[in-house]
Amino acid sequence: MIYMFFKLTDEQLMIQTMVREFSRKVVATTAAERDRTKEFPAENFKKMGELGLMGMMVPVEYGGEGTDTISYVLALSEIAYSCASTAVVMSVHNSIVCESVNKYGNEEQKTKYLPQLTSGEFIGAFALTEPHAGSDPVSQSTTAVRDGDEYVINGTKRFITTGKNAGLVIVTAKTDEAKRHKGISAFLVEKGTPGLIVGNIEDKMGLRASDTTDLIFENCRVPAENILSKEGDGFKIAMTALDCGRIGIAAQSVGVSQAALDAAVKYAKGREQFNQKISKFQGLRWMIADMATEIEAARQLMFSAAAMKDRGENYTSQASMAKLFSSEMVNRITGKALQIHGGYGFTKDYPIERFYRDARVFTIYEGTSEIQRVVISNNIFKDKRKP
């Protein structure tokens, strides 16, 4: 085990400062209203594309910024601070879609799709989960059958982030029913492809400005050239993508929890009970101290996983640790912050109510907390025990 202490570079600090300013001045101003109306923040993503936030880790030759992962998680945390709905779309787009196309796409695919993704012209989605295949993606039933120069995809994907608004979707499907992991392949499917049907938008508890839908494939014909890597690599692509995605969820968790802590401190400084500000009460101050400590611990786990990825090391376990701790942490932090607000925290007059709802799904998507424990323990015992 290598222990590290992080000192951000001038470039990383510059990126953090730039995104923080954009997040507070642009993203935050409509976050509450979008939560109420469920309006997708399309114009924000256009601006984020202009700022280079929609292809941060993509090489410059494909229109990206070529930044390291630490710069990316700093930026994502700042967006999450203001709007978790915007952050989850940014995370899936960067961590999973752009990373997968850049890592596994051929030169033609990268030249065709990455510039559209990095500019924000296309927003990416990742279609893995199915109605009966959530934590167990090997049991998916979506199929892709080769027919000449095309694959014909049939099946239903469930809970797809940006399912309605995505311009490009990475879809996993079985190409060989006789095999398990090796029988799954991944495909690049563009919006508007005949046979790709967008289902109803879920009415969710949180992340309400981020659309979550079913994607239904009915004899959806995709050019054979749109297979990502080769037949049988879909499961490997998905698991690799989720490693980076889990660092993204850690970053989202850090951003939301920091926003909740700041809101609690602000409220405590202004609220008076028993003839003094409640910030003077020792019990509350200890709550704040514990909250700040947990956030810092999560931040360091996030940095550790990001640094391992940047060094080209196997970071699967570290990403799961960061995701597990951070997602559980943000639920504790938002709960304590709401408690500090008292009855006012239960109303929509204060943003903590939104933070509390948004945070709840962080322990569920891109692998539940229980699945993260399976991944971590498998790494410790060096075996492949099933959940």
Residue numbers annotated as active site: 366
Residues in Cβ contact with 273 at an 8 Å cutoff, skipping those fewer than 6 apart: none
- Residue the block writes with tokens 């323990």: 377
Distance CA 129, CA 138 (A): 10
Burial of 108 (0-12, 13-18, 19+ CB in 10 A): exposed
Half-sphere exposure of 63 (CA within 13 A, CB side): 21
Select from 130, 195, 133, 191 the least CA-distant residue to 162. Answer: 191
Q: Quote the DSSP letter at residue 348.
A: T
**What would the DSSP string read from start to end of 197-215?**
EEEEEP--SS-TTS-EEEE
CA 273 to centroid of chain Cα atoms: 40
Select from 330, 325, 347 the least CA-distant residue to 259. Answer: 330
Q: What is the 3-state secondary structure (H, E, C) of 305-323?
A: HHHHHHCCCCCHHHHHHHH
Distance CA 301, CA 324 (A): 10
- Residue the block writes with tokens 């009966």: 132
Residue 14 has which token pair?
Answer: 């510059």
Distance CA 199, CA 159 (A): 10
Strand ranges for 85-211 from DSSP E: 124-127, 143-147, 150-161, 168-174, 184-190, 196-201
Residue 51 has which token pair?
Answer: 């700022």
Distance CA 143, CA 216 (A): 12
